[in-house]
Amino acid sequence: MSTNSLLVNFAGFPSAPRMLVPDNGLANLAGALLAAGHRTRILDYATADTVKALYPYEYKDRLQEVLQRIMRDIKGGSAPSPADMEQFHSIDYAIEKRKSVNVGDIARDIAAYIRNNNIDFVGFKLWMGDGFEGSMTIARELKKNFPALPVFAGGPHVDWFGEKILECADMFDVLVCGEGEEVIVQLADYVMGRRVLENIPNLLYRKRGVACSTPRREIADLNALAAPVYDEDVYPAMKGNKKLKFYLTDESRGCPNKCAFCLHPAKSGGKWRMKSATGVVNEMERIMSKHGSNVFRFAGSNTPMPLALEIAREIIRRNLNVRYIGFANSGVAVSREEFALLKRSGCFGFWFGIESGNQEMLDKVMNKKVKVEQLREKMKACKEAGIHVTGSVIVPAPGETGQSKQDTLRLLADVMPDSIIAEPPVVVPGTAWDTDAEKYNIVIPDRKKYVEHAMFYKMKLLYPPNLLPSFPYLTIDGKSMDSILQEAGAFNRDIERQGILTQVTTDTALLATYAGTTAREFRDNARQWFLSGDYEKINGMVATINENIERTMTNLV
C-alpha cells in the first residue's frame, strides 16, 4: 500500500531570475517519497508561465513609464521624486490586488487535477508575502472541494513564523518545521493510518483547538538522503524552458555562528552537518549526465571551507567541467593558493556576509565573531584568484552612525567587490534582534500586528530598497521603516558612486554570463521585465541561458 501525493510550490509572482531555478527542497522530498515506494508529483509555479497567468497587462505601460523615470533618477545618483514614488506604489498596489484574484485560476486547476488523479495528500512549500497569501488561497479552495484531504505545509515561512501560521491559516492541517525528507515519508504513513502525529518529529498542528508541537530532529547523515528527483514525469515544470538549468546541490546544513539577525542556526542546527565531497560531486555528475547542466549552487548557508576545498579537489581529480557558486564562511582563513584551487575547479563566485566595515558594529550589533581585517584579506585573496566576490551589508543597522557607514564604504572601496547587496535591517522573529529588541534599540509597539504584517509582506527581490513597500509597526533607533528604506536607498547610491555594482547576487552574476550580457545589463533588463510582466522577454532570457548552458557543457564561456 502506498500514497499518491502532490507537492506544490507557489512562491508568488516570480520577481527575479533566481526564482526560476528548480526547487531542490521539493525535489528532495520527492526523492524521499519515491524511495519509500510512494508516488508523487511536483507542481512548481515559479515559471515564466505564471508571470503570464497572473500579470494584469492593462497596467504594464503605466508602470514602465514611471519606473523608467525612477530608475533614471537612481542611476543619476538622486532620490526619485515623491510624485513618482506615490504613482509607482499606487500602480504596484493595484497590480498586486489583481494578481491575487488571478491565483484563483491556479487553485481551480489544482483542484481539477486532484479530482482526476486520486490524490491522497498535498504538501505546500510556504514562502513569505504573495507566496504565502497565494498558497492560502489555493489550500482554501482544495479544502472547500475536498474537506477530508490532508493538507500539509513546510518551508522557510514555517521556520520564520511557526505557530503564528496556525492562527491565521486553518486550511493547513499540519506544519513541518526544519528538514522534511524523513518527515514527509512519516506523514505518508500517517495518511495510511500507520502512524500518529504525536510520534512524528518537527510538527505543529492543532488538536481539539489546542496548538501542539513535536520534538525537533535534524537529519544526522546527509549522505543517506535519497537523490533529488528532477525527472519530467515527476517534475513537469522541468520540461522545455520553464525552469533555468541551474541546480542547487546540498553540501552542508547547519551553522555554528550566532549572528544576531539570522535564524539559520535555529532552523538547521547550530553545528555543521556535511555531505562527503564524493557524495556532492557524485550528485553533480548525475545531474550533468541526466539533466544536461553543469551549473550549480551549493545550497548551504555557510559552506565549511575545508569541505569546499575537498569538493574542488574531487572535481579536479575527475576532470569535470563545472561552474558553481556558494556562500563563503567569512571568518575562516583561506590562502591565495586555496582560492586558486577553487577557481581551477570551476568556482565562479562566493557570497560573503560582510554586514558592516565597522568593528564595533560587527561585535556588538551583528555578533559576527569576525574581524574587519579578516574580511578584507579574504575578499581580496578571493578576487585576486579571479573568483567573483559578492558581499552583503546591512545598512542602516541598529546603532548605525555616520562613522560606521563611512567605515563600511571605506572597506568596500579598498576591496572593490564585484557586487554588493546593501539591504535594510529585517527583524526576523526568534533572532536576537527580536527576542532582545530593547538591547538593540528596536521598538515593536504591537507585536501581533508586526508579525501579521511580516507574514504577508511582499518582498520584491530586484527592487532598490527605497522602492520596497512600507513596513509599519516597528522603529529602529527611533527611525520609522520608511526612513530606514530611504537611508538604505541612499547608501546603495553611495556604493554605486564608488563604481561598485549593487543589487546583483552571485547567482545573478553567473546567469548573466550565460545570457551574454554584463551583470549590470542583466540586472537592469531583468528588473524591467519582471516588474512589467514581460513574458516574452523573460521566456527568451530563460531559453538563451539554457541553450548556452547546454552548449558550454564542453566549453565554458
Backbone angles phi, psi at 556, to 5 degrees: -65, 140
Cβ atoms of 187 and 160 closer than 8 Å: no
Q: CA-CA distance, 76 to 417, in Å (whole number)?
A: 21
Give the per-residue pLDDT at 254: 92
Residue type at 411 in one-letter notation: L
Beta bridge partners of 123: 7, 152
Of the candidates 398, 389, 381, the residue with the CA atom closest to the CA atom of residue 418 = 389
Number of alpha helices (DSSP H) and beta strands (DSSP E) in the chain:
21, 19
Report residue 497 as a C-alpha cell. 558612486
Burial of residue 239 (number of CB atoms within 10 Å: 0-12, 13-18, 19+): exposed
Alpha helix (H) residue ranges in 349-499: 359-360, 372-384, 402-415, 432-435, 447-455, 481-497
CA angle 426, 429, 432 (to 5 degrees): 80
Sole residue written with cell 541546480:
247
Cβ atoms of 33 and 185 closer than 8 Å: yes
Q: CA-CA distance, 479 to 474, in Å (whole number)?
A: 9
Alpha helix (H) residue ranges in 273-400: 277-291, 305-318, 336-345, 359-360, 372-384
Report residue 140 as a C-alpha cell. 482554501
Residue 327 CB neighbours (<10 A): 22
CA 401 to chain centroid, in Å, comes to 29
Give the per-residue pLDDT at 554: 67
Q: Does the N-terminal peptide bond of residue 396 adopt cis geometry, omega within 30 degrees of 0?
A: yes
Cβ atoms of 316 and 346 closer than 8 Å: no
Burial of residue 118 (number of CB atoms within 10 Å: 0-12, 13-18, 19+): exposed
- Residues in the chain, overall count: 557
| pTM, full prediction | 0.94
Burial letters 198-237, b for 16+ CB under 10 A, else e: eebbbbbbbeeeeeeebeeebbeebeebbbbbbeeebbeb
Q: Going along 60-201, which residue ranges are E strands? A: 121-125, 151-154, 174-176
Q: Give me the DSSP letters along 213-237.
A: E------S-GGGSPPP---TTT-GG
Give the per-residue pLDDT at 555: 65
Give the per-residue pLDDT at 557: 44
Report residue 418 as a C-alpha cell. 564585484
Cβ atoms of 380 and 415 closer than 8 Å: yes
Structural domains of the chain sorted by starting position, each given as residue range(s) with its CATH number in brackets:
4-54+97-178+180-213 (3.40.50.2300), 241-551 (3.20.20.70)
Sole residue written with cell 563566485:
349
What is the residue-level pLDDT of the chain in tens, covering all 557 positions?
799 999 999 999 898 999 999 999 999 999 999 999 999 999 999 999 999 888 888 888 888 888 888 888 887 878 888 888 888 888 888 887 777 778 889 999 999 999 999 999 999 999 988 899 999 999 999 999 999 999 999 999 999 999 999 999 999 999 999 999 999 999 999 999 999 999 999 999 999 889 999 999 999 999 999 999 999 999 999 999 999 999 999 999 999 999 999 988 877 888 899 999 999 999 999 999 999 999 999 999 889 999 999 999 999 999 999 999 999 976 677 899 999 999 999 999 999 999 999 999 999 999 999 999 999 999 999 999 999 999 999 999 999 999 999 999 999 999 999 999 999 999 998 999 999 999 999 999 988 888 888 888 887 767 777 777 777 889 999 999 989 999 999 999 999 999 999 999 999 999 999 999 999 999 999 998 998 889 999 999 999 999 999 998 766 54
Give the per-residue pLDDT at 106: 94
Report residue 307 as a C-alpha cell. 569541505
Rg of the chain in Å (alpha carbons): 23
Cβ atoms of 528 and 64 closer than 8 Å: yes
SS (H, E, C) 150-184: CEEEECHHHHHHCHHHHHHCCCCCEEECCCCHHHH
Give the per-residue pLDDT at 468: 79
Give the per-residue pLDDT at 423: 93
